Amino acid sequence: MTVITRFAPSPTGKLHVGNIRTALVCWLAARAAGGTFLLRLDDTDSARSTEENVVAIREDLAWLGLVPDGEVRQSDRFALYEAAFEGLHAAGRVYPCYESEEELAIKRRVALGRGLPPIYDRAALALTVEERHRLEADGIRPHWRFRLDAVPIEWTDLVRGPQRFEGAALSDPVVRRADGSWLYLLPSVIDDIDMKVSHVVRGEDHVSNTAVQIQMFAALGAAIPHFAHMALLVGADGKLSKREGSIGVGAIRQDGIEPQALLALLARIGTSDPVMPVAQAGDLIAGFAFSHMGRAPARFDSAELAQLNAKTLHLLPYAAVRDRLPAGTSEAGWLALRPNLATLNDIVEGQAMIDGPIAAAPLTAEDRLFCAQAAEAAAAIDWSVSPWAALTGALKTTSGRKGKALFLPLRQALTGRDHGPEMAALLPLIGRERAIERLRTAAA
Ligand code: GLU
């Protein structure tokens, strides 16, 4: 089977972590099967959709490396919806309704008062042609409902397993407003059919939509696609916190998070597989399976993301980051500095340890003497092999120092810091002249 997935955000806002997880799973499912990953912009709501959001969605997906194989916009497809709607009308599967919001609210209250489910009573289905004409002559334009069949609706969800709804227990959904504009349900099905979507992947908040959409697929004479409804995303505390799931991609980018780190976390939370850093998003494809996704909420923890980001950076080869490094950072510099980075922004400070300027804290009189000794030793050693081993070896003998007393003042004098990358990797990059000069400055 050809796997075709679509990510269908509404450009009424910016993408957030929850959307990205959906996009990622759509992308993984398509790539794992050699299939197609499409972007569908659900912009039927012209009042709330903006071009700025459309551009931001494309940019965010590009930054993440989740590049769609094609894109459609619902606002370009009204003729398609109109044609399908006409067919459904002719077949009696959509019908006009004339109730106002207030009337519907009263009906719901009455039903609830009688202990009945607040489903639409289909009063409009019983209207005669004359009654409809009279209502329309009174200036009431109808909205349209899809007529559900009163049969059980069943599917095997790729994440949630067997699902069953009773058609008779569901309200006929409104699919079109009185002004002719479209609600989400029907255009989505028409598009999924037209785009030959094989797997509809989305959040579990859409499960009950799926029940009615399955009848729409059937009413339109189409095969029912596979469905995968992912569990919700929750915060680290396990609460259904809107905040974590609503963190925007922009904010994550600004925090210096690498796209691979975000994707590696989102690919694995809520699954039976461990979270692991990857050098590129493609490395997540082989391990992907819907069957590994759990029904329990997936925990998204910003602290875990920060840790994963560091581990991700530690994996990245020079070629992957070269364009984003400070001008002076060589491949050896990257390899020396990489193990100590939490975000790539830290590289600026790291590079300054190599080519300066550094601001060393003043040393004790004893340590200053030691640095004077070290400057002499640095001038005498062979720099071609392992200058750090040579320098510390020589100083161990001449100063009698060892351990922290030996290493810390040297690190402070040579880098201006108490902590940092391995001195063995750093010292050759600092180089003989600069090292001697820094040690002399520290000794003064
Ligand atoms: N625009 C809908 C949403 O963002 C799409 C749902 C779907 O994937 O069918 O919720």
Look at residue 237 in the predicted model and tell me its pLDDT. Answer: 76
The radius of gyration of the chain's CA atoms, rounded to the nearest angstrom, is: 32
Q: Can you tell me the mean pLDDT for 402-418?
A: 97
The rounded Å distance from CA 202 to ligand 1 centre is 7
| Per-residue pLDDT at 242 exceeds 60 | no
With b meaning 16 or more CB within 10 Å and e meaning fewer, what string describes 57-77? bbebbeebebebeeebebeeb
Mean pLDDT of the chain: 95
The rounded Å distance from CA 16 to ligand 1 centre is 14
Give one DSSP letter per residue of 287-312, joined into a string.
T--GGGB-SSPEE--HHHHHHHHHHH
Tell me, rounded to whole angstroms, the distance of Cα 187 from its chain centroid: 25
Tell me, rounded to whole angstroms, the distance of Cα 79 from its chain centroid: 33
| Per-residue pLDDT at 10 exceeds 60 | yes
- CA neighbours closer than 13 Å in the CB half-sphere of residue 371: 25
At residue 361 the predicted structure's pLDDT band, cuts being 50, 70 and 90, is: confident
Taking the C-alpha atoms of residue 135 and residue 142, their distance in angstroms, rounded to an integer, is: 9
Render pLDDT for 220-238 as a digit per residue (tens, 0 to 9): 999 999 999 999 998 877 7
Query: Domain of 370: which CATH number?
Result: 1.10.10.350
Taking the C-alpha atoms of residue 21 and residue 443, their distance in angstroms, rounded to an integer, is: 55
Amino acid letter, 168 = A
pTM: 0.93
For the chain, what percent of residues have pLDDT higher than 90?
A: 93
- Domain-located, residue 292: no
> Ligand 1 pocket, 213 CB below 6 A?
no
Look at residue 235 in the predicted model and tell me its pLDDT. Answer: 83
Contact 200, 216 (CB under 8 A): no
- Domain-located, residue 169: yes
Which tokens hold the place of 257?
């998070």
Query: Domain of 147: which CATH number?
Result: 3.90.800.10
- Residue 36 phi, psi (nearest 5): -125, 135
Atom nearest to 202 CA in ligand 1: 8
- Of the residues 184, 217, 226, which should be mutated to test ligand 1's pocket, given the most ligand atoms within 8 Å of the CB? 184
> How many angstroms separate the first and last alpha carbons of the chain?
75
State the residue for tokens 């037209």: 194
- Domain stop point among 176, 208, 226: 176
With b meaning 16 or more CB within 10 Å and e meaning fewer, what string describes 130-144? eebeebeeeeeebbb
Taking the C-alpha atoms of residue 202 and residue 10, their distance in angstroms, rounded to an integer, is: 13
Angle, vertex CA 436, rays to CA 434 and CA 442, nearest 5: 100
> Ligand 1 pocket, 36 CB below 6 A?
no
The rounded Å distance from CA 8 to ligand 1 centre is 5
> Ligand 1 pocket, 172 CB below 6 A?
no
Overall domain count for the chain: 2
Look at residue 360 in the predicted model and tell me its pLDDT. Answer: 81
- For 251, residues 6+ apart whose C-beta sits below 8 A from its C-beta are none
Render pLDDT for 130-146 as a digit per residue (tens, 0 to 9): 999 999 999 999 999 99
| Per-residue pLDDT at 121 exceeds 70 | yes
The rounded Å distance from CA 205 to ligand 1 centre is 10
- Domain-located, residue 250: no
107 is in an annotated binding site: no
- Domain-located, residue 142: yes
Amino acid letter, 142 = P
Render pLDDT for 389-402 as a digit per residue (tens, 0 to 9): 999 999 999 999 99
At residue 239 the predicted structure's pLDDT band, cuts being 50, 70 and 90, is: low
> Ligand 1 pocket, 22 CB below 6 A?
no
Structural domain for 132, as ranges: 86-152+160-176
Look at residue 244 in the predicted model and tell me its pLDDT. Answer: 60
User: Taken in order 2, 37, 229, 160, is the CA torsion positive or negative?
Assistant: positive
Q: Is the model more confident about 306 or about 248?
A: 306
Taking the C-alpha atoms of residue 235 and residue 299, their distance in angstroms, rounded to an integer, is: 6
Taking CA atoms, 61 is separated from 67, 267, 333, 361, in Å, by 6, 15, 31, 45
Contact 40, 74 (CB under 8 A): yes
Of 162, 312, 141, 293, which Cα lies nearest the Cα of 230?
293
Look at residue 20 in the predicted model and tell me its pLDDT. Answer: 95
Look at residue 313 in the predicted model and tell me its pLDDT. Answer: 98
> What are the residues facing 316 on neighbouring strands?
none
- Domain-located, residue 320: no
- Domain-located, residue 119: yes
Contact 212, 148 (CB under 8 A): yes
Q: Can you tell me the mean pLDDT for 324-346?
A: 96
- For 270, residues 6+ apart whose C-beta sits below 8 A from its C-beta are 230, 231, 233, 293, 294, 296, 297, 298, 299
DSSP 1: -
Q: Does residue 379 sit in helix, strand or coil?
A: helix
Taking the C-alpha atoms of residue 34 and residue 31, their distance in angstroms, rounded to an integer, is: 5
- For 398, residues 6+ apart whose C-beta sits below 8 A from its C-beta are 373, 377
- Domain-located, residue 56: no
Taking the C-alpha atoms of residue 138 and residue 135, their distance in angstroms, rounded to an integer, is: 5
Contact 395, 373 (CB under 8 A): yes
- Domain-located, residue 382: yes
The protein residue with its alpha carbon nearest to ligand 1, atom 6, reads 8
State the residue for tokens 């600026």: 348
Look at residue 243 in the predicted model and tell me its pLDDT. Answer: 60
| Per-residue pLDDT at 424 exceeds 60 | yes
Amino acid letter, 310 = A
